[in-house]
Structure 1
Amino acid sequence: MGLIIDSNNADVFLRLNIGGTHFLIRNETVLNRKTGLLSLIVRWPHEKRIPLADAYLENTKEYYFERSASLFNVIYQFYLTGSIHLPENLCLKDVLNELDYWCIAPDKYLAECCCFGINTDQLDLIKSNPEMDQVNHFKHLRFGEYRLQIWNLIEVPSRSGRFVNHCVENSSDFHVVETEPLPIFERLEFICIVWFIFEYVLKMAVSYDRLKTFFQLLNIIDLLAILPFTIEIALSLFEFNTRNMRDLK
């Protein structure tokens, strides 16, 4: 026997308006899937939900998204059944774009009954890729598009080379016992360290998950590599003798 519940109860139902079509779904049903943008929305308070929607309809208590209702039916059915079904009357690329918008990975939940009629090219299109996953993370953040561009610019595969350079620089096998310091190299070192510090701070600023980024192994190595230089620069600004800091580096 079904329960008698007020459909306006926000603690029980999530009310959506997709392109003028009304959708009503229980919060519990969404949470059972543990994935996608809707699972995030139902966990958030009303104030945090509003920026994600295109509008909030006060009279009907609905979050309005200016998108295709027929495409959203695929999303709605996924939350009900746990599987993604591909209607024959919809363009596959449009469906994939809709899944991407709602942060649902198509390759993980595609129903078996929909796999038989798909050719190899379409399967390749369905397979997720790292770039799509990153877009999903950044898409609904403030200035997400620009943060993603900066993130991709910073996260090029160059950190391993930087770490090797740091190891070589500090290895005694590559040091000359007696040498005369050249000011130009000291300036160059200073410029490089300032750049690495700026890059590290910028990466933390634009990251979609700062805590996760901070505790990644390579980022910890980066921090340990630049920390002595950061302390030296800070102390030199206050006119402390930083000669002994060379041994620490």
Structure 2
Amino acid sequence: MNSLRRMLDILNLFRPEQPVIDVDTICSQLGYAQASAYRYVRELSSAGLLVRMPRGYALGPKVIELDRHMTEYAPLITCSRDLVDALVAHTGMHALISELYSSTVINILQKQGTETEPLNFGRGRPMALFRSATAKVILAYLLPRQLKRVYETNAAEPDLQRLGATWRDFSKAMLAIRKQGYCVSVGELDPGKTGLAAPIFDEKSRILGAITLVGSNERFGAFNQAFLVKQVTDAAAVITERIAMEQPAG
């Protein structure tokens, strides 16, 4: 299992500024021996997760195949799509479904609202862990031991410090969000935009992700906030129920 994790960690090296990697990159950035790096590259290439290029390796065609499958059949997406469409239709704002994996929050579904200015953090782009209504509402529902681990790993991060300079302050801030049942943030990821997020849970009531409504401060302010909160929290509750029942929308 450790060997598999080490091999898959190679995929984390791909970034906008680093679309192609080679064995030297793997060895220098992950600290792997050359023999291990070559073996992992062969196995990833055989699985279609990497493809050989003139300057090294790029992500392979299997990734886009999996992305298409996820877009069409992933339960969190199929259980959410009609509700996301309805939120956009009722408010004109952008609507997002985001999921938690490891210590990363990433948007897996995005529906464009009537506002033309794009979001800085659209589908497929990891979000800052301690900024945005989306990330904070997910953090708030982690198990205490998970939240403590996140805090200890990131205690020096300025964004975390703004939520609480000590573990006690940070955990109190998360508890306040949890008691409220939703989170609102203003301008934390996109200047001039407000986000409202509510948690989505799996069949065992563990935090799975969030549904978020994002719009310009002016558009957001034109609505009664209680109305928006009900729209988003009701949608989150329906998605959670569908996940538990394994009944995607038609």
Structures share a fold, TM > 0.5?
A: no
TM-score of the aligned structures, taking structure 1 as reference length: 0.23
Higher helix residue share: 1
TM-score of the aligned structures, taking structure 2 as reference length: 0.23
Say which one has the larger Rg: 1
